[in-house]
Structure 1
Amino acid sequence: MKITVIGTGYVGLVTGACFSEFGFDITCVDTDPRKIEALQAGRIPIFEPGLEALVQRSALEGRLRFTTEAGPAIENSDVIFITVGTPSRRGDGHADVSFVVAAAETIADHLNGYKIVVTKSTVPVGTTRRIAEVIRKRRPDAQFDVASNPEFLREGSAVEDFMRPDRVIVGVESERAREVLRQLYRPLHLIETPILFADLETAEVIKYTSNAFLAMKITFINQVADLCEKVGADVHNVAKGIGLDRRIGPKFLHPGPGYGGSCFPKDTLALVQTARDHDAPIEIIETVVRLNDQRKIAMVDRIAAALDGNVQGKRIAVLGLTFKPNTDDMRESPSLVILPRLQEMGAKLRCFDPVGMTEARDLMPDLTYSSDPYEAMQDADAVVFLTEWNSFRALDLERMKQILRRPVVVDLRNIYRPADMRERGFAYHSIGRK
């Protein structure tokens, strides 16, 4: 089976590489010639564990190709995946599907026989049907089916998530398309991955509500963490206690400075707007969006409180800039809200992240960046942990104590244990613990 993937961003590149690992013939298409040239040379534009080796191996073995020429790729394919971006539209929070529509128009211009056009981009309800309308209007004679196949990839674990997913969701209406997509995902069926076939609208709603529910869990445990601090409870034991209930589960119950990334902020906003448009507002998610925005700002106050309420002229070391570990993605990262505000309040920031500093420099060029954690902490009045990179879990605490001007630690990811830090003489501030 020959597959074309339109878009070589995060989703498209992972999708193409993983399908090629299954043995399918994959062509990935993008309009950016520099990106395609890099991919053809074996260089990938994102940091994702395991992906570069997968791309290089499949390309070397001839199953994975990259091109800017969409026409020949579409003409030679059986299934075409649309994996272009759907960013939040300025002004109203709706998902911008203009790239999806443009991809559909390109596909229509090159259809030369029966094809299945699959939406893997995260799109509002009704978009897959709109794709079908765009193609029919442009090519009334075309033979094709459309399908919705949302992705559920976690940045930092995307390859594993694709190869061993919790489930595969396929929105499809024709039996012919259903059978082709069943064969496409047959390697996962062999490891007993649940595959749910549904209609187009149901598949689209599943994607948005899945992300919204997880964002709600994060916001919930952040609110519970605030309560734990007031009453003297430990939020981690609370999370473990409720997570042992199989109806709740332990995932996404770790407190922090708020969610970020390419999915949750964008998808919660899009779901809120879609629900309003259909006169069925989901007020609980509206509240989640508001509370998450407030959460990031509240972290600034926490940092200031640890420094006697005033950061003016204080040197602060910041460890971690990306929205989560194992990715260089800075999109909607809490650091983009917290650090500029601290700087406006007069703080002098020195920052370090294991892989995110190239992106961070583009977004926050006024900050000072260090080559390692200890350089960032030298003579600092406090160190703030914003991302829970594994490399931060085993820092030399004695060395930290010696090089910090003041032994103040603001741990917004609860990397360390309060008792251990107190015993070593740190003024330690964490989230949801005594």
Structure 2
Amino acid sequence: MTSCAPGICSGDIDRQLASGSFRLAFPPALERAFERETADERTRMFVICGSLAIILYDITLITDYLVLSDRFTEMVVARLGIFTPALILMMVAASRFRHVHVRESLAASGGILAVSLPMTIQIFSQSSDRLIYQYGSLLVIMFSSIIQRLRFAYAALSLTVMITIQLVTTALAGIFTPETFVTNAVFFVIGGILLLLAAYFLERSERRSFLFNLRSRLLHDQLMQIARIDALTGLYNRRHLEESADALWHRAAAAPQVVTAILLDVDRFKAFNDAYGHTEGDACLRRISTIVAEAAQGRSGLAFRYGGEEMLVLLPGWDPHEARALAEDIRRALRAAAIPHPALGPERIVTASFGVAGVVAPDAPLSALIEAADTALYAAKRAGRDCIWPPSGAAVVDEAPRLAAAAV
């Protein structure tokens, strides 16, 4: 059996896990679910990492003063006047526009800006110590790839741009001989490749964890759904009736409303079972339950197998007279199905009797509603079966619980 969510089935997840694909992309429905699941957390992490980056980046003014003292003023402007406010604006934008491309583009831009500012300024420095200054760029590159964990495509783009800036600015600064420049370039390129591999495996791991978690939730939902469904009829069972009623009555505590129930019982079903056996009896109940379920779902109602051949339709907020009209629709649909019941005689068909009742929740409990509907059902049986009780125009809502409460 396959458990399905909107646009996603557990079978799709199993195929994705078994495929062994190295692509960091899911089919469209899974990709949308992945972004929905991770968007808030990744935005939050961008803000946290951005705040940490501002602190660490501005602390390195100490090294600017020690290593690039002749350009210290420019470095203060770059770090405190450009990078810090720019990254704050990026974090605000990422928090407001929670789209993957916006967030990842801003995060990548922050890293590029962090490298470009100091490396551009150091071109114009005459400090003899600026050779060691370039390695601050490596810290930024590592932070973007491993701590900030950019999506792989954005990590690849930002790494390429940052390393290019690093190599171009050091070349313009003239601090290397041709041989040492090549050595330095190889060092940064290999480091970039290793960091890119780390970014790839981090995202791959995140995506696989998402698939495992999603599959677990879908399987849990499937088991919960099975626990709520009657195996024979496919209608909801008594357990789910109690759960639904608890939730409904809890909401009604803040806003009282009429809750109506239709309780139906298949007429002379024992005679049908005795004549044709339980296999045919089960098939008969399944056909009837399909009629009831379709009628209930079309009107936002909940259909339950209440017991044996009894079925219940719960209609929150319904006018009881409208509920009676729905019961009439079900009765007519059952007659139109013309399920033969030869045990009662030639040309006889399966019919049902209906009891309709309503109470005001939360003043009256579910048990009072069921009792009232059951009383009405047996009145329909006594009235000749294949009918609905109360008759059209009669009062259906039991106001007694509300009146009693008011009297107290």
The bucket for the TM-score relative to the shorter chain is: under 0.3
TM-score normalised by structure 2 residue count? 0.26
More helix by share: 2
Q: Which has the larger radius of gyration?
A: 2
